[in-house]
Chain A
Amino acid sequence: MYVYDDFDRAFIAERNRQFRDQVARRIDGSLTEDEFKPLRLMNGLYLQLHAYMLRVAVPYGTLNPGQLRALASIADRWDKGYGHVTTRQNMQFNWPRLTDVPDMLDALAEVGLHAIQTSGNTIRNVTSDPFAGAAADEIADPRPYAELIRQWSTDHPEFQFLPRKFKVAVTGSPVDRVVTRAHDIGLRMIAPDLFEVIVGGGLGRTPMIGKVLHPGLPAVDLLPYLEAVVGTYNLLGRRDNKYKARIKITVHENGLETIRDLVEARFAEIAPQFDGAATLAQLARLKRMFADPALDSVPDLPWQAARHADPVFRSWADTNLHPHRDAGHAIVTISLKAHGATPGDVTSDQMRLIADLAERFGHGDIRFTHEQNIVLPHVARGDLPALHRALKAQGLATANVGLASDIIACPGMDYCALATARSIPVAQEIAERVEALKIEHDIGPLKIKISGCINACGHHHVGHIGILGLDRAGVESYQITLGGDGSEDAALGERTGPGFAADQIVPAVERILSAYLALRQGRDETFLQAYRRLGLAPFKEVLYAA
């Protein structure tokens, strides 16, 4: 794993010292809120509905056990004993006091974590595949590239005041688990050290699927090319209208060809200033830091025996495991979606348990996923029964990954000041409903995603079933979209029609699920496949039939 060097440490310590000073000056009145707000946002501190919120960056979602334990003790000491895993692989604390935040940041710095560039019009935390370095379907580990980009973008002097925020995602697998096509820039590895560059994707008010800007960029050119893209956007991006400021609009208004020409010209101009040999040497160093763990060979017998004897274990293994490149190992997804729980919330005790289990069984490697779960990427199959028992004891063995109750939900109006409706209770009720009906294993793969306003933090546009909470004349109302897809075949969902009241949205979702079960051509046809075959009409019928 990447370890901070002295430069990183000194940089963070200095930023924390500055922020401590800024907080003091806000409290003693020498800074106004207008002056203080951009400063606190640069340090990941938001003001929500009921309290402040601190957003901690977890670079490409990768953590070690010490870091997770530090997050647990921060939750206990300064928050309410839990943290919230977000769709950008970060962790949010919902209840800090302003006066405690400098101490929280210092505690984070002790384990090499911070909250810098988790807000503001900067290049945000780079996201990556939570199965990086482990998945059987991977070409190569994307994290060395993600780290290269993190180093380049952190405190980049030219890119601290972009027209709008800028989000980059990197994947090393043809199976897209990072929604590259909904990012400002998505990088998809197509061969070792070669990337397809996707630009101008995004959700929010004007959702757009990203377009291919470069079909095959060699890794040595990554930094000058990214610099050319962000530089082009920095000049061209609209600063007159916040809603037209993201690069997706810049690409849309100017056309992909124009943007490509400008980027190529800028690239030709600046590439000579980049030292390609140094980039390659740095990449080689980073690849060594992310070297594969020494996988041990554990007897397979306990795995075979448990699969045979314990149906609860088998059900969990069927949903929560993903093939590891080593046949004797598995990638374990720990569901933070117990039926009825708040999606993405994890208590401090659970964090400590996961840290311990990662040390015992998982080579000390932990990932946060954008689907708001936690992954142990390298577990020997023979250790899975023991791992499962330990998780079960802490309510962490829900067997629902990829199923109807594995819902992404943004904080919505329970926390977020921008929300137009709640999302968490809708997720809780849908999960409880499918559990009561015992239908989710029969339904199979299904992604339900819920946002509490058009900013789309819950990715509803790319949910197979997307739900958007709105305020219709002072009443919560929920709009449904169907057929969205965040995978390599990315697509935006289509709106079914008028929205549903808060007490009608869960029955409406149930009608969609029943219709699918009745209409599918056998168990092998997933919800998304059935939707693509059938279109909106049969679902509209069950939704709106009087």
Chain B
Amino acid sequence: MTRDPIVQVVTANALIEGDVVYLTASGDWTRHLTQAIPFADKAQAEAALAGAGRRASEVVGCYLADARQTAQGLEPVHFREDFRRRGPSNYAHGKQAAA
């Protein structure tokens, strides 16, 4: 059995909307985990986080979250990240509204 590799993504909340965003390869912010840039290398991830942390007029509370690199794309490792990418479970008011 091969295990999906664990990578890291830079994630935060958008300053104005407050919703969950992820850093992309082009340095923009996306609302979708699947479009995030994955970091396999710890030092690169830390460097990207430091850079994102300086963009205080765009986002709040940057951190690195683990993700699993699967054939279908990036998947969250922890259930908290699963809720963050999807929205609350009682109403389709979060990201799932757009899905």
Known contacts A97-B17, A99-B16: A413-B80 contact under CB 8 Å: yes
B90 engages A424 (CB within 8 Å)? yes
- Min CB distance B60 to A, Å, is 5
B84 lies within 8 A of chain A by Cβ: yes
Known contacts A29-B57, A414-B89: A47-B13 contact under CB 8 Å: yes
A-B contact pairs, 17 of them (CB 8 A): A26-B15, A29-B56, A29-B57, A32-B56, A33-B61, A47-B13, A47-B18, A49-B83, A51-B18, A52-B18, A80-B91, A97-B17, A99-B16, A413-B79, A413-B83, A414-B88, A476-B79
Which residues of chain B have C-beta atoms less than 8 A from A476's C-beta?
79
Main SS at interface, chain B = loop
B74 lies within 8 A of chain A by Cβ: no
A27 lies within 8 A of chain B by Cβ: yes
Which residues of chain B have C-beta atoms less than 8 A from A80's C-beta?
91, 93
Which residues of chain A have C-beta atoms less than 8 A from B87's C-beta?
50
Instruction: Provide the bound-state CA to CA distance between A247 and B51, in Å.
Output: 41
A414 engages B83 (CB within 8 Å)? yes
Other A-B contacts than A414-B89, A476-B79, 18 sampled, CB-CB below 8 A, are A27-B57, A33-B60, A33-B61, A47-B18, A47-B61, A49-B20, A49-B80, A50-B84, A50-B93, A50-B94, A98-B17, A98-B18, A342-B91, A413-B80, A414-B83, A419-B80, A424-B89, A475-B79
- Among B15, B93, B94, B95, which residue has its beta carbon within 8 angstroms of that of A98? B15
* In the complex, per-residue mask of A31-72: 1 if CB is within 8 Å of any chain B CB, else 0: 011000000000000011111100000000000000000000
A272 lies within 8 A of chain B by Cβ: no
A415 lies within 8 A of chain B by Cβ: yes
A323 lies within 8 A of chain B by Cβ: no
Please, which residue of chain A has its CB at the minimum distance from the CB of B97? A80
A447 lies within 8 A of chain B by Cβ: no
Binding site for A on B (CB under 8 A): 13, 15-20, 56-57, 60-61, 77-80, 83-84, 87-91, 93-95
A425 lies within 8 A of chain B by Cβ: yes
A225 lies within 8 A of chain B by Cβ: no
Instruction: Provide the bound-state CA to CA distance between A48 and B87, in Å.
Output: 12
B57 engages A50 (CB within 8 Å)? no
- Min CB distance A26 to B, Å, is 8
Q: Which 10 pairs, one residue from A and one from B, show the smallest C-beta to C-beta distance?
A: A414-B88, A51-B18, A52-B18, A29-B57, A342-B90, A50-B94, A424-B90, A98-B16, A425-B89, A80-B93
* In the complex, per-residue mask of A189-222: 1 if CB is within 8 Å of any chain B CB, else 0: 0000000000000000000000000000000000
Please, which residue of chain B has its CB at the minimum distance from the CB of A98? B16
User: What is the size category of the interface that chain A forms with chain B?
Assistant: 20 to 34
A232 lies within 8 A of chain B by Cβ: no
B-contacting residues, A380-404, CB 8 Å: none
Which residues of chain A have C-beta atoms less than 8 A from B80's C-beta?
49, 413, 419, 471
Instruction: Provide the bound-state CA to CA distance between A80 and B17, in Å.
Output: 13
A50 engages B20 (CB within 8 Å)? yes
Please, which residue of chain B has its CB at the minimum distance from the CB of A427? B90
- Among B13, B18, B19, B90, which residue has its beta carbon within 8 angstroms of that of A428? B90
A51 engages B17 (CB within 8 Å)? yes
- Min CB distance A83 to B, Å, is 13
Instruction: Provide the bound-state CA to CA distance between A425 and B83, in Å.
Output: 13
- Min CB distance B46 to A, Å, is 20
Instruction: Provide the bound-state CA to CA distance between A48 and B80, in Å.
Output: 12
Please, which residue of chain A has its CB at the minimum distance from the CB of B85? A50
A95 lies within 8 A of chain B by Cβ: yes
A474 lies within 8 A of chain B by Cβ: yes
A50 engages B90 (CB within 8 Å)? no
A422 lies within 8 A of chain B by Cβ: yes
Instruction: Provide the bound-state CA to CA distance between A80 and B89, in Å.
Output: 15
Instruction: Provide the bound-state CA to CA distance between A52 and B20, in Å.
Output: 11
The residue in A50, A98, A419, A475 that gathers the most chain B C-beta atoms within 10 A of its C-beta is: A50
B16 engages A27 (CB within 8 Å)? yes
The residue in A49, A52, A98, A476 that gathers the most chain B C-beta atoms within 10 A of its C-beta is: A49
- Among A33, A49, A474, which residue has its beta carbon within 8 angstroms of that of B84? A49
Which residues of chain B have C-beta atoms less than 8 A from A32's C-beta?
56
- Min CB distance B88 to A, Å, is 4
Which residues of chain B have C-beta atoms less than 8 A from A27's C-beta?
15-16, 57
Instruction: Provide the bound-state CA to CA distance between A32 and B55, in Å.
Output: 10
A50 engages B19 (CB within 8 Å)? yes
Please, which residue of chain A has its CB at the minimum distance from the CB of B60? A33
Instruction: Provide the bound-state CA to CA distance between A16 and B17, in Å.
Output: 20
Which residues of chain B have C-beta atoms less than 8 A from A97's C-beta?
16-18
- Among B16, B20, B60, B90, which residue has its beta carbon within 8 angstroms of that of A425? B90
Instruction: Provide the bound-state CA to CA distance between A475 and B80, in Å.
Output: 10
Which residues of chain B have C-beta atoms less than 8 A from A475's C-beta?
79
Which residues of chain B have C-beta atoms less than 8 A from A413's C-beta?
79-80, 83
Which residues of chain B have C-beta atoms less than 8 A from A29's C-beta?
56-57
Which residues of chain A have C-beta atoms less than 8 A from B56's C-beta?
29, 32-33
